[in-house]
Amino acid sequence: MIRQVTRVLDLLPKFGKAPSLKLLNSILDVLVKEDIDIAREFYRKKIMGSGLKGDDYTYGILMKGFCLTNRIGDGFKLLQAMKKHEVKINVVVYNTLIYALCKNGKVGRARSLMSEMEEYSDVTFNILISAYCNENNLVLALVLMEKCFCNGFLPDVVTVTKVVKALCDAGRVLEAVEVLNRVEGKGGAVDVVAHKTLIEGFVRAGKVRAGVGFLRQMEMKGCLPNTDTYNILIAGLCESGMLDSALDMFHEMKRASVKWDLATFDTLIYGLCSSGRTREGLKIFELMEEGIGSSLARVTPYNNIMYGLYRENLINEAFEFLENMRHLFPTAVDMSSKILCLCQDGHIVEAKKGFDEMTAAGRCPSALVYASLIQGLCEKGCIKEAVELMNQMISVGYFPVASTFNGLINGLCEEGKATRAMRLVDDLKMRGFLPDSESYGLLISGLCSEGEPQKALMLFLEMVGRDCTPDYNSWNAIIPAVSEFRDHKLLKHLTEA
C-alpha cells in the first residue's frame, strides 16, 4: 500500500507538474493509517522539503496519527509547532488530542487543554462529559453540561445517557429526569436507551411505579419501549411484590408486539415461584417452551420452577420435574441426581465434592441440591459448612424454607450455640424468613438447656403472637423453665396466652 501511494508522486514530474498540498495531504492521510513514523518522514521530506507549508488539514492528519498510536507527547509537540508556525489550530485538532488524553485517563489535562481553545464544538463537550462520567466525577460532568448548554450546544444521546446513568447510580433520579427534559426541550435527541436507563434508575431507587409512569410518558412522546425496558420494569415489579402488575406488563408486551426473550420469562417465573405462586409460574413456563423452544433453553427457568416446588414442599413433583429436564440438560441432571442420591445415602463428603465439581464447571445447582446438601451436612455435624452453603444458596436467590433451616438450628443447639442460632434466625427474619413451630421449639429447647429461660419465654410469646401453635417440645421445655417466674409478669402473659 505504501509503495503504491508514494509511486503516484514519481509520475507527476513526467507531466511537468509539482504535487499540490491537497494531493500530499491525501497521501499523508493514507500513510498515517499504515505507519505514523513513515507518515511523519513523508511530511518532513515531501511537504516541508518541497517548500510547502502545511495547512490545518495537514496537522489534523498528523495529530490523528499520533493520538491513534497513543503518542500524546508527540501530539503536544505538534501543537507547539503549529503555534510556532502561526497555523490556526482548529477545533478538530484540539478534540483529537483531548480525546486521546481522556482515553488514557488524563481527564484533568484534557480539561486544561480545553481552556486554551478559542472555540468549541459539541464534540468537545461530548468527549469531556463522557470522560468525567466514566470517572464517576458527576460534579464536573454536570458543570461541563451546563457550559455546553450556555455555549449553544447540545450533548449527543450517548453522552446524555451517560449523565443520566451517573445521576441514577448516585440516587439522583429526579435530576436525571430534569436532564432528559431539558435536552428534549432544546430539541435534542433522546432515544429508547436513555429512557430505559432512567426507568432502571427509578426501579433501583425502589420507585417502580414512577418507572411505569415514565414508560407511559415515553410512549406518549412516540418513543416505543423495547424488550429490555419491559424486562427492567417486570423485574422491579416482582421485587416489589407487585406480581399482578408484573403479569399485566408481561401480557402488555404481547399486545404491543414487543418480543418476549429468555430474560422476560426467567424474571417472571422466578418472581412467581419465589412468592408461592408456582402454578402461575408453570403457566408462564409453558408459554416459554411454546414461544422459544428447546434449542434456546437455559437451565435457570427450570431451576426456578424447582425452587417454587421446593418452597411449597412439593418435593416429589420437584424430583419429577428434574427428571423431565434430562433431555435438555443431561449433564446438569446427572450431576444433580448423583449429589441427591449421595445425600440420601449419607455420603456427604462425596456429595459435597460433586457439588464443588458442578459449580466449578459453571453449572447452576437447584434449590433441591442446596437443601439436600445442607440437611446432610447438619446431620453429620458439619454446621460451619452448612451455614456457608446456606449463605451461598441465599446469594443465588434461593431462600431456604423452615424445613431446611431447622436442621441448621438443631445442629447449632446441639453444639450448645442456641444464642447464635437465635441471632441467625433474627438475621433471616429481616430477609423474610418465617420460622415455623419446629423452628421455635428447637430454639426454645436450646435456650432453656443453656440457662436462658427469659429469652426462651420471650421467644415463646413471639411464637404465640404470630398465631404459630406451640408443639409438644415447646411446652415441654418452657413449662419447667418458667417455674421460677411464678410471680413474674412474663408468666402471667404466658398463662393468659
DSSP output for 188-238: ----HHHHHHHHHHHHHTT-HHHHHHHHHHHHHTT----HHHHHHHHHHHH
Q: Would 160 be classed as within a structural domain?
A: no
Q: Which residues contact 354 (CB under 8 A, 6 or more apart)?
A: 335, 338, 339, 342
Q: Which residues contact 9 (CB under 8 A, 6 or more apart)?
A: 19, 27, 46
Q: Domain ends where: 104, 119, 134?
A: 119
**Chain centroid to CA 373:** 29
DSSP output for 100-115: HHHHTT-HHHHHHHHT
Task: State the Cα–Cα distance between residues 53 and 81, nearest whole angstrom.
Answer: 12
Task: State the Cα–Cα distance between residues 231 and 238, nearest whole angstrom.
Answer: 11
Question: How much is the average pLDDT of 83-97?
Answer: 89
Q: What percent of the chain has pLDDT over 90?
A: 57
Q: Would 176 be classed as within a structural domain?
A: no
Q: What is the pLDDT of residue 10?
A: 53
Q: What is the pLDDT of residue 283?
A: 96
For the cut 70, the answer to whether the pLDDT of residue 12 exceeds it is no
Question: pLDDT category, 60, cuts 50, 70, 90?
Answer: confident
Q: What is the pLDDT of residue 17?
A: 56
How many beta carbons lie within 10 A of that of residue 411, not counting itself?
24
Q: Would 471 be classed as within a structural domain?
A: yes
Question: pLDDT tens across 177-223, in order?
Answer: 999 999 999 998 899 999 999 999 999 999 999 999 999 999 998 89
Question: pLDDT tens across 423-458, in order?
Answer: 888 888 887 778 888 888 888 888 888 888 888 888
Q: Domain ends where: 119, 141, 163?
A: 119
DSSP output for 234-300: HHHHHHTT-HHHHHHHHHHHHHTTPPP-HHHHHHHHHHHHTTT-HHHHHHHHHHHHHHT-GGG--HH
Number of separate domains in the chain = 2
Residue 427: which domain range? 405-497
Question: pLDDT tens across 356-366, in order?
Answer: 999 999 999 99
The residue written with cell numbers 445517557 in the block is: 161
Question: pLDDT category, 9, cuts 50, 70, 90?
Answer: low
Q: Would 388 be classed as within a structural domain?
A: no
Question: pLDDT tens across 154-172, in order?
Answer: 999 999 999 999 999 999 9
Task: State the Cα–Cα distance between residues 156 and 178, nearest whole angstrom.
Answer: 16
For the cut 60, the answer to whether the pLDDT of residue 137 exceeds it is yes
| CA-closest candidate to residue 96, choices 134, 124, 126 | 124
Q: What percent of the chain has pLDDT over 70?
A: 89
Question: How much is the average pLDDT of 392-411?
Answer: 91
H or E element in which residue 30 lies: helix 21-34
Q: Would 448 be classed as within a structural domain?
A: yes
Q: What is the pLDDT of residue 489?
A: 55
Q: Would 313 be classed as within a structural domain?
A: no
Q: What is the pLDDT of residue 161?
A: 96
**Grid coordinates in use for 406?**
431447622
DSSP output for 359-380: HHTT----HHHHHHHHHHHHHT
Task: State the Cα–Cα distance between residues 93 and 114, nearest whole angstrom.
Answer: 11
Question: pLDDT category, 481, cuts 50, 70, 90?
Answer: low
Question: pLDDT tens across 223-254, in order?
Answer: 999 999 999 999 999 999 999 999 999 999 99
What's the pTM?
0.83
The per-residue pLDDT of the chain, averaged, comes to 87
Q: Would 180 be classed as within a structural domain?
A: no
Question: pLDDT category, 315, cuts 50, 70, 90?
Answer: very high
CATH number of the domain residue 429 falls in: 1.25.40.10
- Torsion on CA atoms 201, 202, 208, 212, rounded to nearest 10: -100
